[in-house]
Structure 1
Amino acid sequence: MTQTNRLAKLVKATAKFPKGIRSTLWSKAFGRVVPMVGTAHIKYIEVSHSQVIVEIQNHRAIQNHIGQVHACAMALIAETATGFVTGMNVPDHCIVLIKSLKVDFKRPTKGNMKAVATLTDEQITLMQSTEKGETLVSVSVTDETGQEPIQCEMLWAWIAKSQLKK
């Protein structure tokens, strides 16, 4: 059975709204929690315990020198999607932290980008039942052609807030 934390409750509270409004509400709310996400104008398309989908438009502020989505922006959407799907599952008394990220750039991009992060049932159970742990969160980042210009590995950890050194 899936447990609910504050983030999951916030997502559930928006369920009564149409999909487009939900997406806007999530993007605004999460952008306030994580200012970098708001600055980059990342749009949340789907948010659940097992999957988070985010998009970023290829606009001037996030482009590289050849008019494509900048490498850092591509890594940002992968990190954002994997971080939020992890955050949907850890208990409220825990904090999530990225432990490592690896990004391999395979080919030039075309247009807007989308990241889809997914968790297995086993990963969800582990996150919801332990105070401390880590897991490699699966993420696929595609451009407008549907191809994956980058391949990523995102290792997320969680720990009880009381364990953090002040």
Structure 2
Amino acid sequence: MPSTLDLYQKTTALPQGKRLFSILFSQKAPYFGSIHLRVREMRPHYAEIAIPKRRSVQNHIGTVHAIAVCNGLEAAMGLLAEATTPKDHRWLPKGMEVEYLAKSTTDLVCTAETTEADWAGAPDVPVTVKATRKDGTVVVQGTIHLWVTPKR
């Protein structure tokens, strides 16, 4: 079975490939489909997705709901983990700490980033995540902690 990164590289080489990959990725964890994510980039140590501001992700005041934003951050983290985790290891999220800094009033871009040094501290790997509005304002930032261990 090809890795998620292999699938991303193959599908994004096609016309509408990022759209196709986004649909396939959303099927892997069906709750990602609820935020209508679009994968923008996936590579070791970095992933980026977009969440369109649609009625289905809005709260009672018309902003993107905090949990929808967290789903986007987790999706970005998952792409990063799939691209960065050694093939003989597995990863599991073990916690998330986030700060809500501003209203999510537009489409959002969710990013996840790590460094080689972060992975050198395995099994506990911190992933820095943030969600940004169209105007560049960071609306949510935090850390998702991964548990990375050898496969048995």
Q: TM-score range by the shorter chain?
A: 0.7 to 0.9
- Whether 1:10 and 2:7 are equivalent positions in the alignment is yes
Q: Which has the larger radius of gyration?
A: 1
What is the match of residue 52 of structure 1? 47
Alignment of 1:93-104 (within 5 A): 93-104=88-99
Residue pair 2:77, 2:129 contacting (<8 A) in 1 also: yes
Match of 1:88, SS?
A: helix
1:36 to 31, 40, 49: 31
Residue pair 1:78, 1:152 contacting (<8 A) in 2 also: no
What is the alpha-carbon distance in structure 2 between the residues aligned to residue 13 and residue 7 of structure 1?
Answer: 10
Measure how far apart 1:15 and its partner are.
Answer: 4.5
Alignment of 1:114-153 (within 5 A): 114-123=109-118, 126=120, 133-153=123-143
Give the aligned length: 151
Measure how far apart 1:91 and its partner are.
Answer: 3.5
Measure how far apart 1:154 and its partner are.
Answer: 1.0
Q: List runs of 5+ in structure 2 lacking aligned partners.
A: none
Please tell me the root mean square deviation across aligned C-alpha atoms, in Å.
2.0
Residue pair 2:125, 2:148 contacting (<8 A) in 1 also: no
Measure how far apart 1:122 and its partner are.
Answer: 3.7
Closer, same or farther: CA 36–84 of 1 in aligned 2, 3 Å: same
Match of 2:138, SS?
A: coil
What is the alpha-carbon distance in structure 1 between the residues aligned to residue 103 and residue 34 of structure 2?
Answer: 24
What is the alpha-carbon distance in structure 2 between the residues aligned to residue 121 and residue 39 of structure 1?
Answer: 32
What is the alpha-carbon distance in structure 2 between the residues aligned to residue 56 and residue 147 of structure 1?
Answer: 15
What is the alpha-carbon distance in structure 2 between the residues aligned to residue 79 and residue 114 of structure 1?
Answer: 12
- In the superposition, the TM-score normalised over structure 1's length comes to 0.81
- In the superposition, the TM-score normalised over structure 2's length comes to 0.88
Residue pair 1:31, 1:37 contacting (<8 A) in 2 also: yes
2:72 to 60, 73, 77: 77
Measure how far apart 1:146 and its partner are.
Answer: 0.9
Q: Percent identity at matched positions? A: 24
Measure how far apart 1:8 and its partner are.
Answer: 1.8
Closer, same or farther: CA 15–68 of 1 in aligned 2, 3 Å: closer
Residue pair 1:83, 1:96 contacting (<8 A) in 2 also: no
